[in-house]
């Protein structure tokens, strides 16, 4: 009996386990919720942002190459033409076709330019169309340094202060170099050169040209400063280089006789520019100016030169024309008439100036 009961309990336990297993197997399961992946929809380019290309073609953009750095100095002289410039470039092997180069070359400004053999003809033409880094400065004979300063200012682009400093500081460092040594010539000057160095450049040119005359003046017992001061007067008083030796001879005669020089140019120098120019005719009032530059009032030479003379005036002082004349005038045609006596001088005035 006990054996049967044990069998029944085992059977019931097996049935219970089977039923539970069936219940678990067929019970409803929670669905696993999948995370939605966002869908990216391509955006259309707004109409106004589209590049307008004809026929929907993509154009190739032209690349502009930078101009190579200039390493060589190329000079355009004051007399050069487009043809001579092209020929010079051709001879120096910067271009291979000078005729073609002339066609697209604009007339360049005279001066110095930085170029390179790495440049194309078009790039060379572009450089020569620009501003030169060196400029020509032509200083005429007989200017005073204020006139030279204005010329340098206009050409090299100096400020008003630089011009004034050149007159009052850069050219006053040596009392013998206040005037007369800023040699008249044609210069090629870098535009960034300091005004002081420009003054030194002009003085160096004077020393170079005046040096051969120094020994000759010394042989005649004439100080170089005396010779230069007289040459500066001869430069202003001579109508041309041909008459310079005659004017020098007359002025030497006056000096040797301790006469008044009676030269208008020295009065013009001390009077300065009163609105009519540096060398405007003098007035009766000017002759009453009490100054060592007034050669109507004081004998001998003024304290220093009144202009910057050229070589013909210096040569004339060294080798003046031998003459008995003490007076001279220039007629309306700038022809010089000299006289030995004051009476002859007055007669010349009546004949040629009235």
pLDDT in tens, 302-324: 999 999 999 999 999 999 999 99
Q: What angle do CA 328, 329, 333 make, to 5 degrees?
A: 140
Q: What is the mean pLDDT of residues 187-211?
A: 98
pLDDT (tens digit per residue) in 103-132? 889 988 999 999 999 999 999 999 999 999
The DSSP result for 269-330, as a single string, is HHH--SSS-TTPPP-TTGGG--STT-TTTS-S--SS-SS---HHHHHHHHSPPP----EEEE
The tokens for 342 are 């004051």
Of the chain, the percentage scoring pLDDT greater than 70 comes to 82
Q: Say yes or no to pLDDT of 160 above 50.
A: yes
pLDDT (tens digit per residue) in 228-271? 999 999 999 999 999 999 999 999 999 999 999 999 999 999 99
Q: Identify whether the C-beta of residue 280 lies closer than 8 Å to the C-beta of residue 236.
A: no
Q: So what's the pLDDT on residue 104?
A: 86
Q: So what's the pLDDT on residue 9?
A: 54
Is the pTM here over 0.75, yes or no? yes
Extended beta strands in the chain, E state: 72-76, 111-115, 134-138, 186-190, 327-330, 336-339
**Which residue in this structure is represented by tokens 């022809």?**
335
Beta bridge partners of 274: none
Q: What is the mean pLDDT of residues 167-194?
A: 97
pLDDT (tens digit per residue) in 26-84? 454 443 343 444 434 344 444 444 444 444 444 444 445 677 777 899 999 999 999 99
Cα–Cα nearest to 123, from 82, 61, 66: 66
Q: So what's the pLDDT on residue 285?
A: 94
Which range (8-12, 65-69, 219-223) has the least confidence? 8-12
């Amino acid at each position: 009996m006990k054996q049967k009961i044990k069998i029944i309990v085992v059977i019931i336990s097996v049935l219970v386990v089977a039923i539970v297993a069936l219940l678990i197997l067929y019970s409803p399961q929670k669905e696993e919720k999948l995370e939605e992946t966002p869908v990216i929809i391509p955006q259309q380019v707004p109409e106004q942002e589209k590049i307008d290309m004809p026929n929907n073609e993509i154009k190739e953009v032209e690349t502009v190459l930078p101009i190579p750095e200039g390493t060589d100095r190329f000079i355009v002289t004051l007399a050069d033409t487009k043809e001579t410039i092209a020929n010079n470039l051709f001879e120096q092997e910067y271009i291979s076709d000078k005729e073609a180069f002339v066609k697209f070359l604009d007339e360049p400004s005279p001066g110095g330019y930085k170029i390179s053999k790495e440049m194309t003809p078009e790039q060379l033409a572009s450089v020569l169309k620009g501003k030169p880094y060196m400029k020509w400065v032509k200083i005429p004979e007989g200017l005073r340094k204020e006139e030279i300063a204005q010329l340098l200012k206009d050409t090299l682009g100096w400020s008003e202060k630089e011009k004034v400093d050149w007159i009052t500081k850069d050219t006053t460092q040596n009392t013998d170099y206040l005037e007369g040594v800023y040699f008249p010539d044609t210069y090629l000057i870098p535009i960034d050169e300091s005004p002081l160095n420009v003054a030194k450049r002009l003085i160096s040119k004077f020393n170079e040209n005046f040096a051969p005359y120094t020994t000759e003046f010394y042989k005649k017992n004439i100080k170089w400063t005396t010779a230069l001061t007289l040459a500066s007067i001869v430069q202003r008083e001579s109508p041309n280089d041909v008459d310079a030796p005659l004017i020098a001879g007359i002025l030497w005669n006056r000096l040797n006789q301790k006469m008044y020089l009676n030269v208008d140019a020295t009065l013009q120098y001390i009077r300065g520019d009163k609105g009519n120019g540096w060398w405007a005719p003098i007035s009766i009032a000017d002759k009453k100016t009490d100054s060592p530059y007034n050669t109507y009032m004081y004998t001998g030479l003024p304290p220093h030169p009144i202009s910057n003379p050229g070589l013909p005036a210096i040569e004339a002082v060294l080798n003046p024309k031998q003459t008995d004349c003490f007076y001279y005038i220039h007629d309306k045609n700038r022809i010089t008439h000299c006289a030995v006596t004051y009476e002859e001088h007055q007669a010349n005035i009546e004949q040629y100036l009235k």
